[in-house]
């Protein structure tokens, strides 16, 4: 997992992977922020964790992603999940994990794409429904890859950023583990812009 924040979705995936029937396991957590709470959460739970701060690589994102790629491979990672990761991944990661990177975004894409402020922007825009999206990451526009799964969340008149985000988080914790399971089982087929979910093997 690549993270930059509190790590609530990391905890959701760790809880899912604790079930014997779940087809994926969190083997490594990387962040661009050394003080990221999600890194501490990973360490506390015995998961390999490492920070890759921009200054360590001369603020060159490609150099950082090369180093990150090599470390993730050394930990046995075969899929990537971006959850609250506030950087754009570059060619070394995109190529090495092509078709195997999921990103979680807290809006109903394509609305409010390419921002870390999708929730306040939704409130400012006055939308009546927002939510969250899990999509495959490709080399196109930020948050522009094929959509795997979405969940809608109504926007209430009395909502604040905090109350709306709390309800969106509840849906994120549900759809991110579900989407990762489908990817790990090889049940996602991309057809143009659409993602088809294949039937489970008997």
Q: Which residues of 54-84 are buried (b: 16+ CB within 10 A; e: fewer)?
A: eeebeeebebbbbbbbeebeeeebebbbbbb
Report, as an integer, the average pLDDT of 100-113. Answer: 97
Task: Give the model's pLDDT for residue 51.
Answer: 97
Question: Among residues 105, 125, 135, 169, which one is catalytic?
Answer: 105
Q: 44-76, pLDDT tens digit by residue?
A: 999 999 999 989 999 899 999 999 999 999 999
Task: Give the model's pLDDT for residue 200.
Answer: 84
Q: Examine the pLDDT at 121 and tell me if it is beyond 80.
A: yes
Within 13 Å of residue 124, how many CA atoms lie on the same side as its CB? 6
Q: 10-52, pLDDT tens digit by residue?
A: 999 999 999 999 999 999 999 999 999 999 999 999 999 999 9
How does the average pLDDT of the chain come out, rounded? 96
Q: Provide the 8-state DSSP code for 126.
A: T
Spatial CB neighbours of 135, under 8 Å, sequence gap ≥ 6:
102, 103, 105, 109, 143, 144, 145, 146, 147, 148
Q: How far is CA 63 from CA 55, 77, 86, 170, 190, in A?
A: 11, 19, 17, 35, 30
Is 135 catalytic? The answer is no
Q: Does residue 189 sit in helix, strand or coil?
A: strand
Q: Provide the 8-state DSSP code for 118.
A: H
Q: 173-201, pLDDT tens digit by residue?
A: 999 999 999 999 999 999 999 999 999 87
Which domains are present in the chain?
2-187 (3.40.50.170)
């Amino acid at each position: 997992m690549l993270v930059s924040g509190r790590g609530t979705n990391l905890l959701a995936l760790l809880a899912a992977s604790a079930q014997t029937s779940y087809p994926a396991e969190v083997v490594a957590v990387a962040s661009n922020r050394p003080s990221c709470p999600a890194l501490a959460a990973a360490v506390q739970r015995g998961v390999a964790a490492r920070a890759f701060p921009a200054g360590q690589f001369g603020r060159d994102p490609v150099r950082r992603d090369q180093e990150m790629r090599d470390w993730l491979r050394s930990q046995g990672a075969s899929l990537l999940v971006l959850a609250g990761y506030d950087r754009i991944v570059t060619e070394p990661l995109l190529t090495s994990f092509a078709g195997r990177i999921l990103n979680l975004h807290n809006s109903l894409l394509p609305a409010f794409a390419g921002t870390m402020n999708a929730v306040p922007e939704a409130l400012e825009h006055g939308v009546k429904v927002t939510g969250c999206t899990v999509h495959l990451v490709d080399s196109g526009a930020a948050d522009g890859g094929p959509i795997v799964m979405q969940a809608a969340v109504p926007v209430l008149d009395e909502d604040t950023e905090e109350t709306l985000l709390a309800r969106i988080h509840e849906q994120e914790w549900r759809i991110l583990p579900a989407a990762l399971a489908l990817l790990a089982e090889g049940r996602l087929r991309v057809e143009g812009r659409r993602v088809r979910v294949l039937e489970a093997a008997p």
